[in-house]
A and B are shown apart, each in its own frame.
Chain A
Amino acid sequence: MPEKSEQSKRKNIPERFQVARSTLVFDQLMNQLIKIGGIAIIAAVGSIFLFIFIQILPLFRGASVTYDRTFDLDDLEVDAVGIDPWSELPLFVSPDGTFNFFDVADIGTDYNRGVFTVRPDFPGDTEFPFVRYDQRRNTALFGTGDGRFSAVEVTFNQTHPPHRSREVVPVVTASPLLRLGRDDAPYEHIEYVDAGRNKLAVAIQRVEGRQVVYALTLSQRQTLLGPGPLTREREFSLTDLFEGEPAFVRITADTDFVIVGTTEGDVHLLARAADRFSLRQTVRPFAGTADEGIHSMDFMFGDLSLVFTNSEGRNVMYSVFHDEERGYRILGRTKEFERLPFGKGATFYSTSLRNKAFLIGAGDFATIRYATTKRTRWESTLDFEVRHAVLGPRYDKILFVDTQNRLHLFDLVDRHPATGLRAYFGRIHYEGRAGPEFMWQSTGGGDDFEPKISMVPLIIGTMKGTVYAMMFAVPIALLAALYTSQFLKPELRRIVKPVMEIMESVPTVVLGFLAALWFAPIISGSVPSVFLVCVALPVSVFAFGAIIASLPKRMRVLIKDGYEFLYFAPFMFLVGWVAWSLGPVFESIFFVVADPDSGVVVADFRLWWQLNSGMSFEQRNALVVGLFMGFAIIPTIFTIAEDSMSNVPDAFRSGSLALGASRWQTAVNVVLPTAAAGIFSALMIGFGRAVGETMIVLMATGNTPVMNFNMFEGMRTLAANIAVELPEAAQGGSLYRSLFLGAMLLFLMTFLVNTVAEILRQRLRDRFKAVE
């Protein structure tokens, strides 16, 4: 109303009542300022969630592939294709033993080198009917028609000439032509792995209409002038070790295994021990399907897993892992991918050298799949028929050569291939593991490490810490709150409450330090004592109470109501001390075991637990964390529960007492049910605090992600995980964002729990208001 006719109103007001214009202006200004400021601040605080959410969004995006350009290769002979580490210099290997490099950076400038040819110093005009390029090892393999082969290593050096950010200069180093297999048959396939001391070449040849497999060990002498030439060591014929017609052959990176795929559909794992090959295992990847034959078989990055397709387009993966029962490594099926469309087997395959992604396809269909999560990162039907395909080593380019001898380049952007819902919450069969499981192990040695980023062990760890903390804190806090609000003398209550609340201000880093360095060593050797104390205290207090209650009245009045805890405290210390001292006796009766290492019989709960439960015993364990985290949440629960109990309207209590109920009956039957919502909200808020507690868990456990609720083992919680890993995580990387996801889970958990608690509390408050 005053805004309506400010002017007219001003005129009507006598002058002595008029407000100075400056006052009004200032008032308006402040009004607006506070409104804007207030809304902005609240919005800013609310945007914390939004910011974290935006940070984790990229984790759930697929790959984006964009067309870059096409080159006509004209009559360039292309038998094998490769690319340099920076994806700037594709190379084409031709059967006459030459490499054609094609500079695709800075196209159209004077500095571009176009196509240039490099030929290793092969003797004369040797022709190579078999040519293959191994992108993983940057090695081209040449096979002659008369049973000789050469491995040619291509090294890419980057130089920085003026006016060009980078120029990649290839250097090819050829091994001598070495004899492998029969000299009268061409090669179907050659595989060569150089694992330092162990070098192994395997080849398939076609002899009289039958495929045969030969293996050759090689050696290279180190001289003062660098490595000497490769020399043959010993040749083996592997054909008789297995049944079936060999079609594919691969060697693992450590040269311990040769894996042979047959046209019938069997895969044979041949183990190499010193100078002997033996058949270890045979599996049939497509057993039970319409076509059991194998159409393609290729290693994924890391050379631990094989990707198979059959002619129906089925796509499965087998990995080498250690088998507990047998005590050695075997091949086992780990993944089944989506079927390739059109019912065709893969005709091209290329693996990323950064992660566990691979490019696979047939004809004009190409797709990128991520092995760990089985996710299809990208798929597309192209407008050409693919003959060769290569995934850039840095997982940033795709290169196709089509049937019309054209080179197509595509840009690939896929920053977080290893993530996704399944990676975070699914049970995954990781490479080298015996079965599917939930695991967190974000970093490891080597480029080919497979990150394991399941949130499940962290959530379990969080729950574990919280449950143990609540088990300890809830009884003490609620009993203390009940006693303080219902039975304690009001004068004492004014002292007791602040004392309990002081505990809330103790920094958790202090509690963590005490838990880990002071308390953990004390209780690790005295677990039976701890249990005895936990049992003895409640039992003794009931006994104590019962004895006092049965005393005659004239003795009972000596103990004033409202001071019980003061009388009980000395008794409690006595009981606690006795129980603690009896611990070793207890231990020597019930927890006597023979140490399996030395044969000595000892009374040691730690050893007893390990031997009888099969679980481990650590000094810094969930019990310690539970006790000290309980410490941290007792004041929280106590304060809120006490408030809600003492806020129960006096009318309720007076009525109950007047009707003859005892004070205990009043407390349990009248006060507790009335304040139940408040007590519940106290528990929720305590829970929320325990969930997010970082320092105590960080310091008082070993921070190993586990999937059990073993009281004597540590855990890793979501919060501690962030504190451990985030300082080392690269900004914007998958791990960084995954940790943000962990933070968001924590945020959501505590925010939801607290909101429920707050709503309950408000409702309770309204109800009390109605009564009063």
Chain B
Amino acid sequence: MADAEKEIFPCPMKRMKGNENSVRNVKTPPGEAGVWFASMGLALGLSMVVLLFGLIFVRGFGFFWPVPVMQIELQDDSEAAFRGATTFAGALAKTQQRTDRIVSESVEEFERDQDEESGALATIVDTYTEIQLFVGNRDFYGQSFRYFREDEIQSTTFPSDIVRAERRIEGDGIFYPQRIRQVDGSEITVDEDGFEETMARLVREARARRAEINRIDRREIGAINLEINDIHLELRYLQRHADEGEARERRIAALEERAERLRESFAILEQRADELRQLNRGNTLFFQRADGSEGQMAIGDLYRFHYPNRIGIFDRVVLFGIHFWDFVSGYPRDANMEGGIFPAIFGTLVMTLIMSIAVTPFGVIAAIYLREYARQGPLVRSVRIAVNNLAGVPSIVYGVFGLGFFVYFVGGSIDALFYPMSTEMNVPTFGTGGILWAGLTLALLNLPVVIVATEEAITAVPRGVREGSLACGASKWQTMQRLVIPASAPGILTGMILAMARGAGEVAPLMLVGVVALAPNLPVDTNFPFVHLERKFMHLGFHIYDVGFQSPDSEAAIPTVFATTLILIMLIVALNLTAILIRNHLRKRHKASAF
């Protein structure tokens, strides 16, 4: 006991006595430095959160913001020169300090320097500033970003007539337009009046045609392709089954006729798309890059263009909005590096929806059982602990289970029962990864979360409510249905939405059960039966992984990945906020109505 006292009160009372009448000069209580030390933990933790979100928001939104384009002139002997040219134009991507690591050219020289003790320090820490420009024109430079040493730059200008163009292939282009040769052979040069208007008009027209081409490709040809694929599968299947008589022959004939008709309409559509494409190739833009080299492109390959050094703040904001909208509503192109991420957003949402539809009833029933119906005792207690701990089991384990159980076992059985064709031709329908299996796997992953949240919510309903209800003659289920479940609804809903937020951000298990880098068709579309649960799908999280790690030029992919990250984070934050809002709303309502 005496020891313990000493431990708790090492503060010497004597000193306090000595100073007791000089209140002004109270000694610092012991351990203040420790408090400061602990404050470091919080300061670090908080600043990490702030920096992380700040980084994502700045880099993510920066992706959409139209920045000015600078034209730089390098020294003639610069190593950064490209094919002899020393002039580059591009948007500033980042500035960084670099250290010149070379200390001496040889060991002897280094030892000599050391002997003289001239302090190698002064010569060693040679830092220089390096800028990274987005120079675009990947077809010309080979990559989109180039580094330049700041001390090699002789002059920097912001030419007002330079154009940044969003192109169908090879990323953005940065150039000076020279002239346009229209399909009728007439030419308009940049010096003439109305050049910009003509160019804008032509780009607009091309865009309208491209939208039509895309509609034909995606909707109509897509639907035909799907049907032709099905017919081919059935034909191959029928041809394998040699002796099944006349009915088979008739079926084959019918299928072949149908395929023939589909191929005809396919050809018609294809022809229309080709005509449009031909039109889009008609107008040619001739331009000059910053280094003086000439180039040309079809206006049909030009998505948008703007004069980055000419436009005002209002136009910038509008462009920002357009870029943002293009990104969230567009389809990816160029190995996912360019274009939009609409299929990924859509896939994420549909998958999350399937997950929440599956997880909520099961989670709630299990929780009600555990809390209200099961006899409380050591068994239920240990079941509760086990369920709780399942929430901590790594997500990849659920992915493994999902692959083995849902995809191969359940999916394989469904195929064997209802899709004999796909089983025999080894073209699995449900026996391969798909959005349904992904949703169910994540539902299982989140089931413990929902059970725990629901249980907590039910526990929070006061005992008196139940007893009052029962005393009034209500049955157990009536009490549950009319009082306990509504009262705990905010908690249940919160658990569900938190589960959705977790599900939207989870990637590892999805990689095993059906997510793909590029899905040709959306899981919900206008083709019968409209909801295609067996389809593979795209996902925002996997998109980040794929673009960042599987793309040929990961440096160029980073801005896109930041933008995708921003969207994903916004989605998750939105889900979390919704959870909070709904909870508050429901809580208020129940407070007002019931008690």
Contacts and interface: CB of A to CB of B under 8 A. Distances in A.
Interface of A: 17, 19, 23-24, 26-27, 30-31, 34-35, 37-39, 41-42, 45-46, 48, 51-52, 55, 475-484, 486-488, 496, 499-500, 502-503, 505-510, 512-514, 516-518, 525, 537-538, 541-542, 544-546, 548-550, 552-554, 556, 564-565, 568-569, 572-573, 584-585, 587-589, 592, 594, 599-604, 631, 634, 638, 656, 659-665, 667-670, 685, 688-689, 691-695, 698-699, 719, 722-723, 726-727, 731, 739-740, 743, 746-747, 750-751, 753-755, 758-759, 762
Given A26-B477, A750-B392, 13 more contacts: A30-B480, A42-B370, A507-B572, A510-B565, A545-B33, A550-B28, A588-B124, A601-B107, A603-B101, A698-B545, A722-B396, A750-B389, A751-B392
A549 B29 CA distance: 8
Contacts of B438: none
Give chain B's interface secondary structure class: helix
Interface of B: 7-11, 13, 16, 24-26, 28-49, 52-53, 55-56, 99, 101-107, 109-110, 120-121, 124-125, 127, 362-363, 365-366, 368-370, 372-374, 383, 385-390, 392-401, 403-405, 408, 444, 447-448, 473, 475-478, 480-481, 501-502, 504-508, 511-512, 541-542, 544-545, 548-549, 554, 558, 561, 565, 568-569, 572-573, 576
A662 B121 contact: no
Nearest to A55: B404
Nearest to A39: B369
A762 B102 CA distance: 59
A693 to B, nearest CB: 7
Contacts of A17: 473
B400 A585 contact: no
A518 to B, nearest CB: 7
Given A24-B475, A691-B394, A743-B396, A483 B121 contact: no
A603 to B, nearest CB: 5
Identify the 3 closest CB pairs spanning chains A and B, nearest first: A692-B394, A38-B369, A479-B41
Nearest to B539: A509
A620 to B, nearest CB: 11
Nearest to B98: A525
Given A19-B473, A554-B24, A603-B101, A506 B52 contact: yes
Contacts of A669: 7-8
B508 A719 contact: yes
14 contacts: A23-B475, A38-B373, A42-B366, A42-B370, A478-B41, A479-B41, A507-B505, A541-B37, A599-B106, A665-B31, A685-B392, A694-B396, A694-B507, A755-B386
Give chain A's interface secondary structure class: helix
B130 to A, nearest CB: 12
Contacts of B47: 569, 572-573
B385 A41 contact: no
B37 A592 contact: no
Contact of A505 (B124, B444, B501): B501
A509 B125 CA distance: 37
Contacts of A692: 393-397
Contacts of B541: 507, 509-510, 695
Nearest to B25: A553
Contacts of A482: 38, 41
Contacts of A488: 42
B558 A480 contact: no
A662 B29 contact: yes
Contacts of A510: 56, 505, 541, 544, 565, 568-569
A661 B9 contact: yes
Contacts of A39: 369
B569 A516 contact: no
A550 B26 CA distance: 11
Nearest to B24: A553
Nearest to B549: A699
B383 A42 contact: yes
A542 B47 CA distance: 19
Interface-centre pick from B42, B48, B372, B477 (highest chain A CB count, 10 A): B42
A483 B501 contact: no
Nearest to A554: B24
Nearest to B123: A588
B45 A476 contact: yes
A723 B392 contact: no
Contacts of B25: 552-553
A38 B451 CA distance: 11
Contacts of B576: 502, 505
B505 A476 contact: no
A9 to B, nearest CB: 13
A260 B48 CA distance: 68
